[in-house]
Structure 1
Amino acid sequence: MTQTILLAAGGTGGHLFPATALAQELTRRGFAVELATDERAEQYGTDFPARAIYRVPSATFSGRSPGAVMKTLSTLAKGYFRARRLLEMVQPYVVVGFGGYPTLPPLMAARSLAIPTVLHEQNAVMGRANRLLSRFADAVALSFGTTKYLRSRAEKRAVVTGNPVRDAVVAFRDQDYSPPEAAGRLLLLIFGGSQGARFFSEIVPQALEKLPSPLRWRLTVVQQARPEDLAEVREAYRAAEIAAHVAPFFKDLPERIANSHLVISRSGASTVAELTAIGRPAILVPLPHAIDNDQLENARRLEENGGGWCMHQSDITADRLAAELERLLGNPDLLAKAAANSKAMGNVRAVNKLADLVADLAGPDQE
């Protein structure tokens, strides 16, 4: 009998990408994998390697008014009962949660049915949903040895596995970094997810327009932008005489990371994991006002290890970003050193460690 593992992940890339990596590894080991998520996962297409994908109602506590709190609790309660029926039908050996409030109903339902649970935290700061779930999870997998807000009662059940990266990322691990050549093309990649793309759409074209002409004309820019910003960003690059490819989503993002000389991005956990797995230098701009400053912690880890540079959004102007880009793009040796440091941080074995943890909880095949 094939053992089934149910993964529960919020519908963002930061949660779905490590879940994808684990699903790929568990499938290779002969497990059947199914996924519980929310409707946001649809933006990433139907490529998740699962036998079945289920939508479970969930909500985030976005307001403090009694009405908002009651509405969220009502939705989570509906999700819990639907998740419980789902688990009774699927009968998974283990439920693995990757954070975000969509993981609450499946993992709480798993606890009520005495199904073993694993919780994975991608960031250097434990998220609020994971803090709650860590009270009873059978194992807590961490990406960093030091994780803020890890509850003391969960420390005995915590294991440092690292943050899993997808096969599509690992495929470029062995592609060496090629520093910019004198008078050669400069490949700049900018992406930031749906929350971050607007700021980059506004500031990056302005900054690049201020670069000296010999440097600006060498640029080839690949940039993610929201659909409503596409026309404006494309026109800004056309007016600045900068070669640019602008789109709302890049399905081949790992390849584009591998081919870039420098990346500008937010500093979500999966972004940093993929940058370091491939080994590319980056300017990281943490999402401001993020709960618990998890992105700032992630960016600081990369900067402290010499793999990139952290810039606070509140400090960035077009002139300052232009000066920083001129400094970096004009120094191939500096970029190459940062690329090497970034790659040294990469942990492509994380998925194996996490899969080992899940397999141990699943126990031997009962066939």
Structure 2
Amino acid sequence: MSTIVLMAGGTGGHLFPAMALAQELRRRGHDIQLMTDHRVASYGDGFPASATHVVPSATPSVRNPIKFVTAGMRLSGGIAVAWGMLRRIRPAVVVGFGGYPVFPPFVAASVLGIPGILHEQNAVMGRANRALARMAKLIALSFEPTAKTEDFAEKCVLVGNPVRDRVREVSDTAYPPLDPATGTINLLVFGGSQGARVFGELVPSAVSDIPATLRARLRITQQCRPEDLDRVAEVYRKAKVNVELASFFDDLPKRMAEAHLVISRSGASTVAELAALGRPAILVPLPGALDADQKNNALVLQRAGGGWIADQATLTPQSLGTRLTSLFGDPEGLAAAAAAARSQGQPDAVSKLADHVERLAQKEISA
């Protein structure tokens, strides 16, 4: 048994693949510990680690010199904290999943001579991973190609983006049959806090505009911000639509598997789960990202025929309503898109990544 430290920022996009790897490595008998930031309380309650260590971190802002200096000082302090933790833990390997919360502990591991693997979830290598790449023994990629990896190509290996056990458990669920005239249509809508707000404004109005006969067949499950629940529910009530609203769904993988169509952001974990489950989606990338990572993630599914990108800046209730009417009127097209999405899934990603971790750990033990 080896002790392995996983490093992931406190957001779902980074924590979910780390969680998947932790589940797999624990099945193989290893002790897993997590290093993360203060946001872990929102996501990491169920993280399968024997210990969780919170390391100070910050995201530098080149646009604000004061914040840049402050972030640098906090990152330096985080390196010192992580150095002390890692000296006590003495892991065989560390694995980082991107984001600046990984920066302090990964640098500290490098200083201590502990070998490390970086995993990149997105189709564009993130800034933190690019800054850490020269310290890594291996860089595991989710997409081929991944932009901005050219300087580190000799270290890169394609493994895919690991998905959690709860996703893998329903990944064999067949695409639900959809009667072209009378069958119930399951529409699932979810996103992070910003996505929930935008979708809460757009989707109910879009659904209200589609033909009444089609609207009557809809069964909608939608994530909303708590402050939007009453307003969104009222719009759907007036439109006479069957809807379930909540600010959080703890069984989201199951609901994804039951869906005929998904509307969501295109974060790396979302795209990986849609592909693993084989579900078509209208993908609305988070606007304003420096590297346009969500757009590049969404392009992978769109190019394969498994999804459709909708630019938030130009998306309106009318255009979304037209798109929904067209898609729901073409059951065969939706089923084909589901198959195309599934063709991009990599259900063995977590096993591949775990194999690389074990090989590196064995080299360290044998050295």
Question: Shorter-chain TM-score: which interval?
Answer: over 0.9
Residue 169 of structure 2, aligned match among 168, 171, 175: 171
Partner in structure 2 of residue 96 of structure 1 = 95
Residue identity in the other structure for 1:317: T
Deviation at 1:345, TM superposition (A): 0.9
Residue identity in the other structure for 2:101: P
Partner in structure 1 of residue 156 of structure 2 = 158
The more displaced of 35-44 and 269-278 is 35-44
In the alignment, structure 1 segments of 5+ residues that lack a partner are none
Residue identity in the other structure for 1:36: M
Conservation of the 8 A alpha-carbon contact between 2:115 and 2:137? yes
Equivalent runs, 1:31-180 vs 2, <5 Å: 31-62=30-61, 64-152=63-151, 154-180=152-178
Deviation at 1:93, TM superposition (A): 0.6
Deviation at 1:65, TM superposition (A): 2.4
Residue identity in the other structure for 1:130: N
Output the CA distance in 2 between the equivalents of 1:93 and 1:168: 28
Deviation at 1:66, TM superposition (A): 2.1
Conservation of the 8 A alpha-carbon contact between 1:179 and 1:333? no
Secondary structure of the equivalent of 1:135? helix
Partner in structure 2 of residue 338 of structure 1 = 337
After superposition, the C-alpha distances for 1:288-326 in whole angstroms (9 at most, x for unaligned) are: 111200111111110100111111111211111000000
Residue identity in the other structure for 2:226: P
Output the CA distance in 2 between the equivalents of 1:125 and 1:254: 25
Q: 1:84 to 1:275 in 2, by over 3 A?
A: same
Deviation at 1:33, TM superposition (A): 0.5
Output the CA distance in 2 between the equivalents of 1:191 and 1:127: 24
Equivalent runs, 1:1-367 vs 2, <5 Å: 2-62=1-61, 64-152=63-151, 154-181=152-179, 182-363=181-362
Conservation of the 8 A alpha-carbon contact between 1:100 and 1:129? yes
Secondary structure of the equivalent of 1:83? helix
Deviation at 1:63, TM superposition (A): 5.3
The more displaced of 62-71 and 270-279 is 62-71
Output the CA distance in 1 between the equivalents of 2:228 and 2:150: 42
Output the CA distance in 2 between the equivalents of 1:63 and 1:166: 35
The more displaced of 270-279 and 230-239 is 230-239
Residue identity in the other structure for 1:237: Y
Residue identity in the other structure for 1:171: E
Residue identity in the other structure for 1:112: V
Output the CA distance in 2 between the equivalents of 1:151 and 1:365: 27
Q: CA RMSD in A?
A: 1.4
Deviation at 1:329, TM superposition (A): 0.8
Deviation at 1:358, TM superposition (A): 0.6
Deviation at 1:364, TM superposition (A): 6.5
In the alignment, structure 2 segments of 5+ residues that lack a partner are none
Conservation of the 8 A alpha-carbon contact between 1:92 and 1:115? yes
Conservation of the 8 A alpha-carbon contact between 2:10 and 2:44? no
Q: 1:106 to 1:294 in 2, by over 3 A?
A: same
Conservation of the 8 A alpha-carbon contact between 2:56 and 2:78? yes
State the TM-score, normalizing by the size of structure 1: 0.97
Secondary structure of the equivalent of 1:46? helix
Conservation of the 8 A alpha-carbon contact between 2:92 and 2:365? no
Structure 1: which 4+ aligned runs deviate by more than 3 Å? 364-367
Q: 1:41 to 1:311 in 2, by over 3 A?
A: same
Output the CA distance in 2 between the equivalents of 1:229 and 1:291: 29
After superposition, the C-alpha distances for 1:190-245 in whole angstroms (9 at most, x for unaligned) are: 01112321111100001001011111111111111122222221222122211111
State the TM-score, normalizing by the size of structure 2: 0.97
Q: 1:365 to 1:196 in 2, by over 3 A?
A: same
Residue identity in the other structure for 2:353: L
Conservation of the 8 A alpha-carbon contact between 2:15 and 2:44? no
Deviation at 1:365, TM superposition (A): 9.2
Residue identity in the other structure for 2:108: A
Secondary structure of the equivalent of 1:363? helix
Residue identity in the other structure for 1:157: K
